[in-house]
Amino acid sequence: MDGYYAFMLVATAFVLMMTVPALALFYGGMSRSKSVLNMMMMSFIAAAIVGILYVAVGWSMGFGGEGTFFANPFELFWLDGVTTDNYIYVMFQMTFAIITAALISGAVADRLKFSAWVVFLPLWAIIVYFPMAHMVFGCTDDSLICGRIGAQDYAGGTAVHINAGVAALVLVVLLGKRIGWPKDQMRPHNLTLTMLGAGMLWLGWYGFNVGSIVFGTTFDEDPDAFLAQFYSETGRTFANTTLATFAAILGWLLIERLLHGKATSLGAASGIVAGLVAITPAAGAVDIGGAVAIGAIAGAVCAWAVSLKYRLGYDDSLDVVGVHLVGGIIGTILIGLFSTSSGAGGIDGLFYGGGLGSLGDQTLGVLVAVAYSGILTAVIALAIKYTIGLRLDEEDEVNGIDLAEHGETAYDLHSGSSGGGSSLLAASTSTSSEGVKA
Amino acid sequence: MDGYYAFMLVATAFVLMMTVPALALFYGGMSRSKSVLNMMMMSFIAAAIVGILYVAVGWSMGFGGEGTFFANPFELFWLDGVTTDNYIYVMFQMTFAIITAALISGAVADRLKFSAWVVFLPLWAIIVYFPMAHMVFGCTDDSLICGRIGAQDYAGGTAVHINAGVAALVLVVLLGKRIGWPKDQMRPHNLTLTMLGAGMLWLGWYGFNVGSIVFGTTFDEDPDAFLAQFYSETGRTFANTTLATFAAILGWLLIERLLHGKATSLGAASGIVAGLVAITPAAGAVDIGGAVAIGAIAGAVCAWAVSLKYRLGYDDSLDVVGVHLVGGIIGTILIGLFSTSSGAGGIDGLFYGGGLGSLGDQTLGVLVAVAYSGILTAVIALAIKYTIGLRLDEEDEVNGIDLAEHGETAYDLHSGSSGGGSSLLAASTSTSSEGVKA
Amino acid sequence: MDGYYAFMLVATAFVLMMTVPALALFYGGMSRSKSVLNMMMMSFIAAAIVGILYVAVGWSMGFGGEGTFFANPFELFWLDGVTTDNYIYVMFQMTFAIITAALISGAVADRLKFSAWVVFLPLWAIIVYFPMAHMVFGCTDDSLICGRIGAQDYAGGTAVHINAGVAALVLVVLLGKRIGWPKDQMRPHNLTLTMLGAGMLWLGWYGFNVGSIVFGTTFDEDPDAFLAQFYSETGRTFANTTLATFAAILGWLLIERLLHGKATSLGAASGIVAGLVAITPAAGAVDIGGAVAIGAIAGAVCAWAVSLKYRLGYDDSLDVVGVHLVGGIIGTILIGLFSTSSGAGGIDGLFYGGGLGSLGDQTLGVLVAVAYSGILTAVIALAIKYTIGLRLDEEDEVNGIDLAEHGETAYDLHSGSSGGGSSLLAASTSTSSEGVKA
Amino acid sequence: MKLVTAVIKPHKWEDVREALETFGVAGMTVSEVSGYGRQKGHTEVYRGAEYDIALVPKIRIEIVTDDADADDVVGIIVKTAQTGRIGDGKVWVSPVDTVVRVRTGEQDASAL
Amino acid sequence: MKLVTAVIKPHKWEDVREALETFGVAGMTVSEVSGYGRQKGHTEVYRGAEYDIALVPKIRIEIVTDDADADDVVGIIVKTAQTGRIGDGKVWVSPVDTVVRVRTGEQDASAL
Amino acid sequence: MKLVTAVIKPHKWEDVREALETFGVAGMTVSEVSGYGRQKGHTEVYRGAEYDIALVPKIRIEIVTDDADADDVVGIIVKTAQTGRIGDGKVWVSPVDTVVRVRTGEQDASAL
Ligand SMILES: Nc1ncnc2c1ncn2[C@@H]1O[C@H](COP(=O)(O)OP(=O)(O)O)[C@@H](O)[C@H]1O
Ligand SMILES: Nc1ncnc2c1ncn2[C@@H]1O[C@H](COP(=O)(O)OP(=O)(O)O)[C@@H](O)[C@H]1O
Ligand SMILES: Nc1ncnc2c1ncn2[C@@H]1O[C@H](COP(=O)(O)OP(=O)(O)O)[C@@H](O)[C@H]1O
């Protein structure tokens, strides 16, 4: 099994890379040049805070034993009693907690106080994510979504994407719109970063989905069965992850072409993420036909869903709701239609002669996730709003959160005409100070 | 063999990453800021279209059985009859089809209609690449290049690089020069992207070359032989891939220094790709001495070859011909000189006392690849030219293909002097509209 | 063991990627837009030159046998006598040589002649790095740091970071300050590149640290012991590497917040590197508690140390001293306090009841590394200074080293207000020449 | 003819443009500039090094008008761009001998 | 002395520069600006949000000349930059009291 | 009132700003421009293609002053920006009818 183990080492590094730097770049490129650093910082700090917290209590709450909502946080506190040859599984799950929290940041661009984010992260991780991870991944008979309801979620359609998407929606409703939204132009400042980020997310997602395999037996008990499952199931999840993403790119671009007359690069990058989000819960349950269907539907629907915010008037700045909530729901529900008994869950969905049972379980799983995340995120956000406050000062928002919260600006490039790139004004200005003070 | 399998999971993800985002960045950085998004889009859409098509008929045409040019497309249609534990090998080959098609895009920068590219991709994949993959990779006794001719091509000097290079040349000849070429300045708009892309391509190339190992026995038949080959052959291909690239960087920079007085960063990035291209067919056949020689020669020759287009007057915008066609030919032919019987092919080249036999086979293989790809690409391109047309409207080309075809511009950065990066004109303009319409 | 082997294939590719492009981006983003290409080139060329040299004599000097300072360079010259199934271990060590040399480049930004760098690299590799690698990694009873002193250094706190940091310090002292430093503003020109680079470095570092496992037995001798160590030790090193980095981010941002009132994105990126540097030597020796402590201390101390150059007046442009020398020393010394006998070295540090012995050994190891690298780097740098010279011509430095040494400028972006990104002045200028000459 | 040159705060540009349009100004030329004056800049920090940025971003508007309209144009700009806070900018009027519309070669009044 | 200020379409800049050089203009100062006028901008789409960009990129040329040459310079610019399509730009002439060459301190005619 | 426009070498901007500040100039407007003239540009090489860049980066400074101060301001700029090497730039003075401070509406002298 050292082959599987070796893969997990890489997979875990990949999923951590999805947050730092992939997601940070994907979101950062869509931000404005005056807030790109803050956007990236929200991902970086999420890794540090949620990561350490996960080792402290996250693993224990998720995988420390029985519990409908969560297990005893102190059972395996600070990995007490966990042998180092199991650390990699802890690290792998930790990276899921990190990216889920980081995903939320896309919704609150330009206006959330950094201090509020720093306080939100640990609270949300402990109160919302860690329990959700137990309900879905730390699967015991009594864990709510996986055990009691028995909904299939291979790699986190509910725990990760729906969870983050709902939290994002709640947060922006309480946070309010950006000054000038939607009247002012708030276009992506650097689409090459966004496309780079999308590509890196895609790479990392193979760690995310393929690494989420759960074995029916230990290697020691039955090496052959273990390896057979490793080969056949990872082949399936790898192919499904890939094909769904292809289909989602086409789905998104097609709708965009129909609705707005142009197939855009941002659309392609967004389609990639939408497809990956939707296939996340279904990667093990469906065959490649189902994967293509799910991807195409997710791409098309999300391409339309990202415009909802203008109709409904919530400023989900980088479309966490339109892509992760909508995409997550699509993927989780469609399992009810496309799940095949030849898959990891061994359950047939409606289109595979399995009746409505699976569809019901999946729907229920979605509802639970939405309710749990929605209610508790609201509580946390309100608590912060009425204590230290969520919102950045108006003038700081106009001048740019990078400058206000981090004392930095992302670029010092000088115009194309500046030949040798000599520093021009930028350089001289500093001298106009008493120079560098350190 | 789960170690080998685990490596293939990573290798396949790596090779997909070579197209999205690595190649897109490498090419995008060399484009002008008004066409970078279109350049990146050509890679992204290639992945989606060629990828799905590969699963439909590509695998079957390549590996579905006998055939001089290709196997029965319907034998394994939509992977029918392929067990999921073999999916990863399908996915791995698929990523080769994707990047080969994407490589072509570098030649047609700024002026190829996006619709033409979208039509070109499936036709070219089915008519040109899938057969070529059978002739080279889907090696049966009667497959033309690998079987009948018996030319060595470890990872695709013919099927990938010569193939893409020839297609690029044919396409630009039919497409014509960009407006203002070569008089106007068409310099790379962002070399940091190009260097990033080169670095990511290099990383992915380890999946590309090292993952291309073909075993002489199955693990079940003879585990020891299987593993022994795994260790010794991957060690060789990894080292050769690395050393050839080092040598190519030095070769390119040296020639550049001699011809133009300066060793440039674009030269270093280009040398990396030239070296990787040239060692691709030879990775298994030569020893580290041969790898250094091939790399150095490829780097030096390509550094000179990229100027040919100015003499011959074809606008191969990002030098797909100068790097991939020339580099691919160099690597494939030089196997005839540097191949060693201790290598994967067990054939001695001229310099290793093997006489001219190998050199002849390699040369023949190159000629077949050039002829097959050249003729059929021409047919496809002409068909498109005289139906929907290949060329973008003049004014759109001048204003930028990003805007014309995708309704986007890549950057909204504001000048270096804009302090807090407040959106200035860019932001205000939108308000000058009725704001956002969604 | 093919699982371990498969991991080494990936790990080696990862560590090479740390230099090209990760470090190049991390440093490049911190440079000014007129010198980013030269900064990136210094990493690219380091890979090519040091890489080939390592295969020639590096491996032999490091691992070719006995020796206090180095082994016989010709014992395994050009890998003579090394079987290809051992190549990957050669390649892995080679990537360490490459990045160590490349790390130095951050200190000499904007002003070191490219020719001087090209001459410095081979001399420094042979005279300083290869021996240092023998003293630390090519561990024989008589190799100085690892053997005689018996200092613990898991992945290169001494050989890599202290070594590069000291070399950087020596070099900048001999090279002198940049024109205008510290009075003029020399701010990072593109922090998104720096954050991307930091993220990619982090990913690669898992190859760097986790891949540095040294087995107590061969697989053939004792498979179970081999695999047991693989699982338990890589779990430890992976977790330690991760947690130390999290802690360092928080440590750096906290100090920054206290000293300057703001937690910056550059601080987060720098904290990542500081944490990774400090845990490099300690990854195998400490438990997760120790890892967090080392990371937090390193992040906090380095955040303060990067200001030393302003007080002491040496222009360590991108803080190679403040991050790598200081971080390397912290990590290496703290092993003396936090080392646990349950770890890879089996040694208890002061806080684990092991007394002062370990602390003494670690300190001695640091002193030897500082002395060896300092003295010999000075000799090399002086030799170059008084022959071909180290320093770029004044006017060239003002106009930008990219233009002077490489005849390039990194960007041609045009101001945000230029709508379709039409080339404006940049484009027209070239026509003002006799157009392109090729 | 007159040339009215205005240097204003970036976020006011849009309002100014609308006001001028309403008044009947058919066109103008705009550029991003940096201002130096009473309004102070800001401080940035990179690895502990603090930089004072003295310049502040401004928008520069150039409008060629009839002598008759010049004062109104100035008035409109001052009214619309005014926030009352330091750094609102300046507007100055200078004489223009003649203006030509490139497309047609029309001169002066008819060129606007 | 006179100051000729021209706002033209970017892709015409090079022809104008050449024409002026031929005429004998020894130097000029150029900048990238944004124009607002009859010529309409374009629309961009990001995730379904459509933005109308009203400003169009222009090149602004400043040339200080002798009173004698001013009209010729204007004429050359108008002739060369003309495409006949909306948005060709404007050229205006304004009086200059004096011009100095920084390098030498030379004044007026001899400063050019 | 007068408008002093100076086009200088970028690295001289800071000295000029300081000299003007010392003299008592309270504000100015600055922009990055490209200069064309005797000073030649440079050559860049990309994959063997050599590009001659004719334009050189310059800083453009605009200062509205009292008639009285105009000559001194010009003098200071010329003195400070001078390197004696080709490309030092130009300074020209042109008449201004009136200048207004947007914040207060103050006019002319009191607007500066
Ligand atoms: N004498 C001047 N000449 C040209 N522009 C000036 C002059 N003084 C100020 N400005 C411009 O006006 C802007 C605002 O001036 P400032 O002194 O900061 O505030 P206020 O005008 O409200 O007193 C400056 O940023 C600068 O761009
Ligand atoms: N009154 C004006 N003052 C200054 N610049 C102007 C004025 N009117 C137009 N311009 C400039 O001239 C450009 C072309 O003007 P426009 O009305 O679009 O076309 P045309 O000049 O062909 O009628 C505008 O983009 C703007 O930069
Ligand atoms: N006639 C002119 N009108 C406006 N600007 C000019 C003129 N001639 C030169 N300049 C500006 O002055 C700069 C320096 O002029 P140049 O001829 O290169 O050197 P010098 O002024 O030392 O003779 C040019 O780059 C350009 O920006």
Hey, are the CB atoms on B425 and D13 less than 8 Å from each other? yes
Alpha-carbon torsion angle B97, B98, B99, B102, nearest 10: 120
Query: Is the CB of E61 within 6 Å of ligand 2?
Result: no
Select the more confidently predicted residue: D26 or B336: B336
List the beta bridge partners of residue A190.
Answer: B411
pLDDT tens figures, A384-410: 999 999 999 999 999 899 999 999 999
Q: How far is CA A423 from CA A420, C113, C176, C243, C398, in A?
A: 9, 20, 21, 39, 9
Nearest CA to ligand 3 atom 8: E27
Between CA F38 and CA F24 the distance in angstroms is 33
**Which are the contacts of B387, defined by CB distance < 8 A and separation ≥ 6?**
none
* Residue F58 β-bridge partners: F33
- Residue D28 Cβ inside 6 Å of ligand 2? The answer reads yes
Q: Which pTM does this prediction carry? A: 0.96
| Res A426: pLDDT | 43
Cα–Cα distance for residue pair E87/D65, rounded to 1 Å? 18
Ligand found nearest the CA of E83? 2
Atom 13, ligand 2: residue with shortest CA distance? E89
Q: Is C96 on the interface with A (CB under 8 A)?
A: no
Nearest to A291 by CA among A263, A262, A330, A347: A330
CA of F37 to the centre of ligand 3 (A): 5
Q: What is the mean pLDDT of residues B304-310?
A: 97
The HSE-up count of residue D11 (CA atoms within 13 Å, CB side) is 14
User: In this predicted structure, which of A43-52, A128-137, A177-186, A221-230 has the lowest mean pLDDT?
Assistant: A177-186
Which of C230, C242, C284 lies closest to C8 in space, CA to CA?
A: C230
How does pLDDT run across F68-93, given as a tens digit for each residue?
A: 999 999 999 999 999 999 999 999 99
First and final CA of chain A: distance in angstroms?
A: 53
Question: Which residue matches tokens 């300074």?
Answer: F91
Contacts of A416 in chain E (CB under 8 A): 32
pLDDT at E94 over 70: yes
- Cβ neighbours, 10 Å, residue D24: 11
Q: Helix crossing, A265-282 with B36-53: angle to 10°?
A: 40
**Average pLDDT score over chain F:** 94
The token pair at A121 is: 């992260």
SS3 of E44, please?
Answer: strand
B206 is written with which tokens? 């380890």
Rounded to the nearest angstrom, the minimum Cα separation between D53 and chain E is 23
Side chain identity at residue C379, one-letter code: V
Nearest CA to ligand 1 atom 26: D35
Q: How far apart are CA C175 and CA C163, in angstroms?
A: 18
Q: Is the CB of E42 under 6 A from ligand 3?
A: no
Residue C430 has pLDDT above 50, yes or no: no
Instruction: Give the count of beta carbons closer than 10 Å to the beta carbon of residue A277.
Output: 34
Residues forming beta bridges with residue A422, ordered by sequence position: none
For chain B, what is the radius of gyration of the CA atoms? 22
For D60, the enclosing helix (H) or strand (E) is strand D56-65
CB D27 less than 6 A from any atom of ligand 2: yes
- What are the helix (H) ranges across B176-287? 191-210, 223-260, 265-282
- Which of A203, A304, A289 has its CA nearest to residue A253? A304
Tokens 């999308």 found at: A198
Q: Give mean pLDDT, residues B279-304.
A: 98
Whether C110 shows a pLDDT value over 60: the answer reads yes
Residue ranges of chain D with pLDDT lower than 50? none
Ligand nearest to the CA of D105: 2
Instruction: State the nearest Cα–Cα gap between D8 and chain C, in angstroms.
Output: 17
CB E24 near ligand 3, within 6 Å:
no
**Spatial contact of B425 and E34, defined as CB atoms under 8 Å apart:** yes
Predicted confidence (pLDDT) per residue in B101-148, tens digit: 999 999 999 999 999 999 999 999 999 999 999 999 999 999 999 999
Six-digit token string for D9: 């705060």
Residue A190 has pLDDT above 60, yes or no: yes
Pocket test for ligand 2, best of D1, D21, D28 (most atoms within 8 A of CB): D28
Contacts of F30 in chain D (CB under 8 A): 33-36, 55
Which residues contact residue E91 at a Cβ distance below 8 angstroms, ignoring those fewer than 6 apart? Answer: D99, D100, D102, E4, E5, E6, E7, E74, E77, E78
Average per-residue pLDDT for chain A: 94
Q: What is the pLDDT of residue D108?
A: 83
Least confident of A423-427, B87-91, C425-429: C425-429
F-chain residues within 8 Å CB-CB of B190? Answer: none
> Over the stretch B158-210, which tens digit does the pLDDT of each residue have?
999 999 999 999 999 999 999 999 988 799 999 999 999 999 999 999 999 99
> Do A63 and A136 meet the contact criterion of CB atoms below 8 Å apart?
no
B432: chain D residues, CB-CB within 8 Å: 14, 17-18
The pLDDT of residue A99: 98
Burial of residue F19 (CB within 10 Å: 0-12, 13-18, 19+) is middle
Whether E77 is in the pocket of ligand 3, judged by its Cβ within 6 Å, is no
Alpha-carbon distances of C328 from A249, C158, C245, D44, rounded to whole Å: 45, 7, 14, 29
Say what the pLDDT of residue B432 is.
29
Q: Whose CA is nearest to atom 6 of ligand 3?
A: E28
8 A C-beta contact, residue A178 and residue A108: no
On whether the CB atoms of residues A57 and A126 are closer than 8 A, the answer is yes
pLDDT-derived band at E41 (thresholds 50, 70, 90) equals confident
Contact partners for chain B, using 3 or more CB pairs closer than 8 A, are A, C, D, E, F
Residue B135 CA to residue B144 CA, distance in Å, equals: 5
Helix axes C163-175, C87-104, angle to 10 degrees: 30
Write out pLDDT tens, residues C198-231.
999 999 999 999 999 999 999 999 999 999 999 9
Spatial distance between the Cα atoms of C40 and C27, rounded to a whole number of angstroms: 7
Phi, then psi, of B18 in degrees rounded to 5: -60, -35
Q: Phi first, then psi: what are they for C51, rounded to 5°?
A: -60, -50
The tokens of C61 are what? 């000097």
Distance D6 CA to ligand 2 centre (A): 16
Q: What's the rounded Cα separation, in Å, for the pair C170 and C314?
A: 10
pLDDT at A436 over 60: no
The DSSP bridge pattern shows strands E42-46 and D42-46 to be unpaired
- Counting as contact any 3 or more CB pairs under 8 A, the partners of D are A, B, C, E, F
Q: How confident is the model at residue A301 (pLDDT cuts 50, 70, 90)?
A: very high
E101 lines ligand 3 (CB under 6 A): yes
Give Dmax over CA atoms of chain F in angstroms: 58
Evaluate: CB of E28 within 6 angstroms of ligand 3.
yes
Give residue C242's region: left, alpha or beta (phi > 0; psi -120 to 50).
alpha
Nearest CA in chain C to D52: C185
Which of E56, E60, E62 to mutate to test binding with chain C, by most C CBs within 10 Å of its CB?
E56
Q: Which residues of E touch C417 (CB under 8 A)?
A: 32-34, 55, 57
Closest CA to D45 of A109, C250, C180, C307: C307
What percent of chain C stands above pLDDT 70? 94
- CA B417 to ligand 1 center in whole angstroms: 16
* Phi, psi for residue B172 in degrees, rounded to 5: -70, -30
Give the confidence band of A368 by pLDDT, cuts at 50, 70, 90.
Answer: very high
Residue matched to tokens 């890892």: C291
pLDDT in tens, A9-39: 999 999 999 999 999 999 999 999 999 999 9
**pLDDT confidence band for A414 (50 / 70 / 90):** low
pLDDT at F48 over 50: yes
Determine the atom of ligand 1 nearest the C-alpha atom of D33: 27
What's the B430 CA to ligand 2 centre distance in angstroms? 19
Q: Which two tokens stand for residue A99?
A: 């990216």
Please tell me if the CB atom of residue E2 comes closer than 6 angstroms to any atom of ligand 2. Answer: no
pLDDT band, residue A432 (cuts 50/70/90): very low
Which among E90, E93, E96, E97 is the top mutation candidate for probing chain D, defined by the most D β-carbons within 10 Å of its own β-carbon?
Answer: E90
pLDDT at B414: 64
> Using the beta-carbon criterion (under 8 Å), do B430 and E43 form an inter-chain contact?
no
Q: Kindly determine whether residue C196 and residue B195, on different chains, have CB atoms separated by under 8 Å.
A: no
Of the partner residues F34, F46, F51, the one whose CB lies closest to the CB of residue C433: F51
Q: Describe chain A by its helix, strand, coil percentages, rounded to 5.
A: 70, 0, 30
Phi, psi torsion values for D61, nearest 5 degrees: -115, 135
Looking at the DSSP bridge assignments, the partners of residue D44 are D51
> Which parts of C261-354 fold into alpha helices (H)?
265-282, 288-305, 308-312, 320, 326-338
Write the single-letter amino acid at A51: G
| Ligand 1 atom with the shortest distance to the CA of D87 | 19
Give Cα separations from C143 to A261, B126, C72, C341 (angstroms).
69, 60, 13, 23
Rounded Cα gap, residues E112 and F38, in angstroms? 10
Nearest C-alpha of chain D: how many angstroms from F30?
5
Cis check: omega of the bond before C21, within 30 degrees of 0: yes
Nearby residues of D7 by Cβ (< 8 Å), 6 or more positions away:
D33, D35, D58, D59, D60, D61, D89, D90, D91, F29
Q: In a mutagenesis test of the E interface, which of A27, A187, A417 is the best target, namely the one with the most E β-carbons within 10 Å?
A: A187
The answer to whether residue B27 scores a pLDDT higher than 70 is: yes
Amino acid A183: pLDDT: 87
| CB A172 within 8 Å of CB A316 | yes
Judged against a pLDDT cut of 50, whether residue A423 lies above it is answered with no
Asked if E56 lies within 8 A of C419 by C-beta distance, the reply is: yes
Is the beta carbon of E91 within 6 A of some atom in ligand 2?
A: no
Q: Which residues of chain D from 35 to 74 reach within 8 Å of chain C, CB to CB?
A: 44-51
Above 60 in pLDDT, residue B435?
no
Identify the helix (H) or strand (E) that includes residue B302. helix B288-305
- Given ligand 1 and candidates D32, D90, D93, D94, which is best to mutate, with the most ligand atoms within 8 Å of its CB? D90
Between the two ends of chain C, the Cα-to-Cα distance in Å is 53
> Which residue from B minimizes the CA distance to C8?
B7
Q: Label residue B214 exposed, middle or buried (CB < 10 Å: 0-12, 13-18, 19+).
A: exposed
- Output the DSSP codes for B78-135: GGTT--GGGHHHHHHHHHHHHHHHHHHGGGGTTTB-HHHHHHHHHHHIIIIIHHHHHH
Min Cα–Cα distance to chain D from E92, Å: 4
Residues in chain C: 438
Cross-strand bridge partners of residue A401: none
- Taking only the tens place, the pLDDT of each residue in B354-372 is 999 999 999 999 999 999 9
The pLDDT of residue E26 is above 80: yes
Pairing relation of β-strands D28-36 and E28-36? antiparallel
Task: List, in order, residues 6 or more apart from C157 with CB less than 8 Å away.
Answer: C277, C278, C280, C281, C282, C328, C329, C331, C332
- F23: which 2 tokens? 């003299």
* Backbone dihedral angles phi then psi of residue A112, each to the nearest 5 degrees: -85, 130
Span B342-356, average pLDDT: 96
